[in-house]
Amino acid sequence: MSSKKQRKKLGEERLQRIIDLCRSVEERGLDPFIVDVDDVIAVVREYFPEWELPEEFCLDAEAIHQFASVIKLQSDWVRHRSTSLYTDPFLLEEKIRRAGKEELVNIFLKAWRPIVELEQISPHSLAEAVKYWESLLPLNERWLKTDFFKTDAGSATREELVHRRILAETAFSEELEMFWEKLKQKVGEEGKILYWDFVGAETYSETLRRAYMVSFLVTYGYATLEVHRLEEEIFLKPFEKPKSLLGKEQLVSIPVSVSVEEWRKWREGKRD
């Protein structure tokens, strides 16, 4: 009697292992072929005559149910591979090894689709080339010597250099300081001003110049940009004293479009 109980217990344990294995395959997406069909059927057949209680038959039915799910996964796998013309890489490697050189060359030639381009000189292109060379002037006419004129060196005043825009009226650092003071004077009580309200000018060239100066104000720590992305607004906020941001925090480049279209939109909005 004790041997029958032990056999039942062993059968229940083996059925439970089958159930756990089949669930793992289905839930974790494992290879369904790790479940050996013959072994599972053999276990179910061996212990089915031993069952007497409803709980034992339920366990047996659960094992068969889980096993059927794995069989379906195996069937789906085979169907997918057959419809997608799948070839097992190991079988393909073995087939290539067994094939001879001539067979591999023939297969390659059948599948090879080279792209060929033929270029050649035609009589027409030769005639065009001859016509081109005949139309050229002789070298002694093409390589004429350039006449040089000797002039005396003169001098220029600082006003003339400023007028020709070779020199600036003030040093760049002084101009930047003046521009910074203008910015501080134009900001309101909030301590900031809309970018275009400060950069925008009557002419587009002046607008570009002001945008150029603002970029140096921000770079050298005289001011900062405050970006409101949701409202699509950019504010200029001057500092009371220049701040050196290099080495203290990561500098982020903020591109601002100062195109002719943007300038015209600002002008139209200002008129409205």
Whether 69 is in a domain gets the answer: yes
Domains of the chain: total? 2
The pLDDT value recorded for residue 124 is 83
- CA-angle at 25, arms to 22 and 31, nearest 5°: 125
Q: pLDDT tens for residues 51-93?
A: 888 888 888 888 888 888 888 888 888 777 766 556 667 777 8
Report the 10 Å Cβ neighbour count for 247.
6
- Per-residue confidence at 247, pLDDT binned at 50, 70, 90? very low
DSSP character string of 69-81:
HHHHHHHHHHHHH
Summarize pLDDT for 7-59 with one digit per residue, the tens: 888 888 888 888 888 888 888 878 888 888 888 888 888 888 888 888 888 88
pLDDT at 28: 81
How confident is the model at residue 141, as a pLDDT? 74
Q: Does 89 map to a domain?
A: no
Tens of pLDDT, residues 179-227 = 888 888 888 777 888 888 888 888 888 888 888 888 888 888 888 888 8
* 220: CATH: 1.10.10.580
Of the candidates 57, 76, 66, the one whose C-alpha atom is nearest the C-alpha of residue 12 is: 57
Task: Tell which wins on pLDDT, 244 or 248.
Answer: 244
Question: Residue 15 falls within a domain, yes or no?
Answer: yes
Asked whether residue 166 is assigned to any structural domain, the reply reads: no
pLDDT at 80: 76
Task: Please check the confidence at residue 157 and state whether its pLDDT lies above 80.
Answer: no
Pick the range with the lowest mean pLDDT from 64-73, 137-146, 153-162.
153-162
250 pLDDT tier (thresholds 50, 70, 90): very low
**How far are the Cα atoms of 37, 259, 269 from residue 204, in angstroms, in the given order?**
82, 9, 15
> What is the extent of the structural domain holding 262?
172-271
CA-to-CA distance for 64 and 41, rounded, in angstroms? 9
Of 28, 51, 83, the one marking the end of a domain is 83
- Domain presence at residue 211: yes
Domain boundary among 25, 54, 83: 83
Q: Which residue would you say has higher pLDDT here, 119 or 248?
A: 119
pLDDT score for 144: 63
Residue 64 · residue 70 · CB < 8 Å: no
Tokens 């903020």 sit on residue: 254
Per-residue model confidence (pLDDT) at position 101: 85
Which residue type is seen at 38? D
153 within some domain: no
Q: Is residue 208 part of a domain?
A: yes
Q: Choose one of 65, 83, 101: the last residue of a domain.
A: 83
Q: Is residue 181 part of a domain?
A: yes
